[in-house]
A and B are shown apart, each in its own frame.
Chain A
Amino acid sequence: MARLNINGKFFNLTVDGDTPLLWAIREQAGLTGTKYGCGVAQCGACSVHINGEVQRSCAVAVKDVKPTDKIITIEGLSPSGTHPVQKAWLALEVAQCGYCQTGQIMAAAALLKKKPKPTDADIDDAMTNICRCGTYQRIRAGIKLAADGGVASKAKG
């Protein structure tokens, strides 16, 4: 049994303590926007925010998450889907197959929270998620667009 705060809502989940958070989110909480890619914290498809920090949820056991820890998944990043990163991703058509993009968006959103104007080196360091479609160039452009005041300011100016 685990009590988790996901996207501001409490879930009482019937799950073993060693279950990775990823699978509790996907299978018990039913939020499938967080993806399974490798299970060994390599690909980043399972990225979520825990207390504002981006974490690979496949490598976090449910027993290590406290009910007071605030977990945010892609579904909770912005209720209307209009986080500046999401808007930039839409404007630049970043996604191809899209499978890794929820994780990429979570990683990018966490980066921008820490570094509102990231350098290329900051982006290289923070964005270690794998995209097999190879959307890296547009991801970088998307982060810069979001950092630069986002889609709205670009449209004006």
Chain B
Amino acid sequence: MTKSDTTEKNRVTLSRRGFIITGAAATGGLAIGFNVAGVTDALAQKVLGAAGNEVGAWVLIKPNDQVVIRIARSEMGQGTLTGLAQLVAEELECDWSKVTWEYPTPGQNLARNRAWGDMSTGGSRGIRASHDYVRQGGAAARQMLLQAAAAEWKVPVEEVSVDKGTVSHSKSRKTTTYGKLATAAAKLPVPDLKTMKLKDPKDWKIAGKGLKRLDTVDKLVGKQIYSIDFKTPGMLNASIKDSPVHGAKIKSFSADKAKVMPGVRGVYQVGVGAVAVVADSWWQANKALDAVEVSYDDTNGSRIDSAAIAAVLRGGLDATENVSVANKAGDAKAAIAGAARKVEAVYNAPYLHHVTMEPLNCTAKWTADGCEVWVSTQNGDAALAACAEAAGHPPSKCEVYKMHLGGGFGRRGMSDFITKAVLLAKQMPGTPVKLLWSREEDMRQGRYRPITACKMEAGLDDKGNLIGLSMRITGQSILASVAPARMQNGVDFIATQGLQPIDGPQGNEGGFGYTIPNLTIDYAMRNFHLLPGFWRGVNNNQNAFYIECFLDEVAKAAGKDPLAFRRDLMSKNPKTAKHLAVLDAVAKKAEWDKPLPTGIFRGCAQQMGYGSYVAAVAEASVDARGKVKVHRLVMGTDCGHVVNPDQVDAQVVGSVAYGLSASFFEEITLKAGIVEQQNLDTYEIMRMADFPTKVETVTVPSGGFWGGVGEPTIMVAAPAVMNAIFAATGKPVRSLPLKNQKLRA
């Protein structure tokens, strides 16, 4: 069972504005039926009554005992949907085999005073930031259902119990089911969620188990509808091209040739820099787009090359002004100056693209009265806001129908593609327009992982102890472009993610795990015109590469084993006990001290981020021609509580591909201000043959906290492998991607 049953798909459902839309056609097959309180329309009541009864905001129960759990976060492959459903079902005490799901809409969320809380899905927060209120929602529904049974049987509620959705009163031997109680339960007041007593995770029966995902079957037979697949009557298709130089404006364009091409219905400017062709089919639109002649005024853009950006970063590495300190202890400069031995290195990490497999797209329908969009988005709330702003309508007159994502990785947390779809649809009132970006457009109009560089300096005493460390990060800020309001005193704290003081305000999102008596970690912001964005794992990735690979250089200079060297820096501080424990767990599983076959070498790495502690041990070889083979990776995670161990394994193993693909192959470069990599023939991505022979996961949940899982292990996969390569070749890898490095002379 994957979602509300098939008969449900064709039922009439009711939107909050009171007009009726047909389920399958208008929502792309997703059930968006709601039993909205206060609805009086007779037809709607009849339909919704059959559809089920809402027992609290999170649960809809049907007469056949089917339980529909509302999922506010977005599903992009990370398994959050199933995990959240498990948490609700655990407290609800329903029959898991009867559980299905649906996405509440952002418009509903707004209209109902944000009944489902935050709809954004990023920062590995899907579960860790909503586990409490979704469980409370399940518990509240259970309490309402038991109260309904007690009232019906005229017995004290304390004497009523439930097992898998079957409610019983043992004294009278009465039993009933949630499906039969739901109508009465729905009429009861929803108790205050905060008063709900939640189960101890050790008593979990549904959560904590490696249950199958609720959304798999359709994906295997071609029935899963992503927004690229959405269809609605009268819909036209569009392809768009924005200025290849970010920020440049259109001076003029000629659509004469395009307009007469087959299927073309119109050519429109979108915003200041884009032109879109609308046609009967997308292929026609995309072909005609090539025939549009555009001239740009690029005085607002920048014609900078990658070499010029690199020069700016070199300046940032040694800048003395406008530098923000992220983490400091003692006097690193003096300690390094007086050290018995110094180690210095400069590290670099390039711009990267997200490359969601489903290119960006959004369908919009604008009328004078409102605007609707159908979109695969990571952020329902922001999508609604973007829709309303572009539409020129209040949010209450707009609606967003969320769909599964063909990959997100942070790119679909931004709403620029939604804005463009609405601005285009606004020019064709009443006509639904699906705007799909070509892969080339998707590559050019990325929100790239920002380029950064890092200057590392370390001082060792005569016994090989690390007495001073200085890290200067420089490069582009995400927040300065995406969310300047989140900067603190003009500082982008995300640039130093993973290197922050554990006790500081950002410690939980990336707390530095090493205790070094003299330490300075600072950041010199250098911004460029290319638009940056959050990329799965964000700055933790680059920063883990810098610190973890440099530590191996320092350990080597000190004549120490890299694992032992790290243990020395962690074991004396109880606040880094969790960092160390997960490192120890992977070292144990990988048998760190056991010799490997000739030619194979180990490397390790650890980092903390997104509330979780992670570590990795890699085993790799480098052949005579410099080709790397990763034979084994052991990936460790302490995420506090595990909701679905099989999905944790899937996320961790998958994160290895994302991290290694980036560090082996991926790079966005600029020529005259334009991204050079226009498709996947020039932006190389890791495939099966280059994936490690074996990835093993070690999950060591220590309880007492809730950490994220989707991102954290990305940050350690690459440094562990790079350190194994360093062990194999004796040459540290300081610049990514690896494909640009000559590993053997």
Binding site for B on A (CB under 8 A): 15-16, 19-20, 23, 27-28, 30-40, 42-43, 45, 73-75, 81, 86, 89-90, 93, 95-102, 105, 123-125, 127-140
Contact = CB atoms under 8 A, between A and B. Distances in A.
A132 B407 contact: yes
Interface in B78-132: 78-79
A32 B283 contact: no
B212 interface: yes
Contacts of A101: 219-220
Given A32-B229, A81-B221, A96 B78 contact: yes
B221 A132 contact: no
A97 B407 contact: yes
B247 interface: no
B213 interface: yes
13 contacts: A30-B231, A34-B222, A35-B228, A36-B439, A74-B222, A81-B217, A95-B77, A95-B220, A98-B219, A99-B407, A102-B220, A132-B357, A134-B657
Given A101-B220, A131-B357, 17 more contacts: A27-B282, A39-B679, A42-B679, A74-B221, A81-B217, A86-B220, A95-B77, A96-B651, A124-B689, A125-B689, A127-B688, A132-B357, A134-B655, A134-B661, A136-B657, A137-B695, A138-B650
A54 to B, nearest CB: 14
A36 B218 CA distance: 17
Interface in B637-683: 646, 650-651, 653-658, 661, 679-681
A41 B220 CA distance: 21
Contacts of B281: 15, 23, 27-28
B681 A42 contact: yes
A132 B283 contact: no
**Listed residue (A43, A75, A101, A136) with the most chain B CB atoms within 10 angstroms of its CB:** A136
Given A34-B222, A39-B438, A97-B76, A132 B685 contact: yes
B220 A134 contact: no
B171 interface: no
Interface residues of B, number: 62
A93 B215 CA distance: 10
Given A23-B283, A102-B222, A96 B688 contact: no
Contact of A35 (B284, B406, B408): B406
Contacts of B237: 27
Given A23-B283, A38-B439, A98-B77, A33 B222 contact: yes
Nearest to A89: B220
Contacts of B357: 35, 37, 43, 45, 97, 99-100, 130-132
Contacts of A132: 355-357, 407, 409, 657-658, 685
Contact of B216 (A34, A93, A129): A93
A38 B222 contact: no
Contacts of B439: 36-40
Nearest to A20: B283
B221 A131 contact: no
Given A90-B216, A137-B691, A43 B680 contact: yes
B350 to A, nearest CB: 18
Nearest to A76: B222
Nearest to B212: A93
Contact of A36 (B217, B220, B284, B359): B359
Contacts of B653: 134-135, 137-138
A153 B231 CA distance: 40
Interface of B: 76-79, 212-213, 215-226, 228-229, 231, 237, 262, 281-284, 355-359, 404-409, 436, 438-439, 646, 650-651, 653-658, 661, 679-681, 685-689, 691, 694-695
B679 A40 contact: yes
Contacts of A138: 650, 653
Contact of B646 (A93, A129, A136): A93
Contacts of B680: 37-38, 40, 42-43, 130
B714 to A, nearest CB: 10
Nearest to A120: B693
Nearest to A87: B220
B359 A129 contact: no
B213 A93 contact: yes
Nearest to A123: B688
A95 B656 CA distance: 16
A70 to B, nearest CB: 18
A75 B695 contact: no
A35 B358 CA distance: 8
Nearest to B660: A134
Given A36-B359, A97-B76, A19 B283 contact: yes
A134 B226 contact: no
Nearest to B28: A32
**Listed residue (B217, B222, B408) with the most chain A CB atoms within 10 angstroms of its CB:** B222
Nearest to B262: A16
Nearest to B224: A98
Contacts of B229: 32
A25 B407 CA distance: 22
A64 B1 CA distance: 40
A133 B77 contact: yes
**Listed residue (A35, A97, A102) with the most chain B CB atoms within 10 angstroms of its CB:** A97
Nearest to B222: A33
A90 B226 contact: no
Contacts of B226: 99
A50 B654 CA distance: 31
Nearest to B226: A99
A23 to B, nearest CB: 4
A136 B436 CA distance: 27
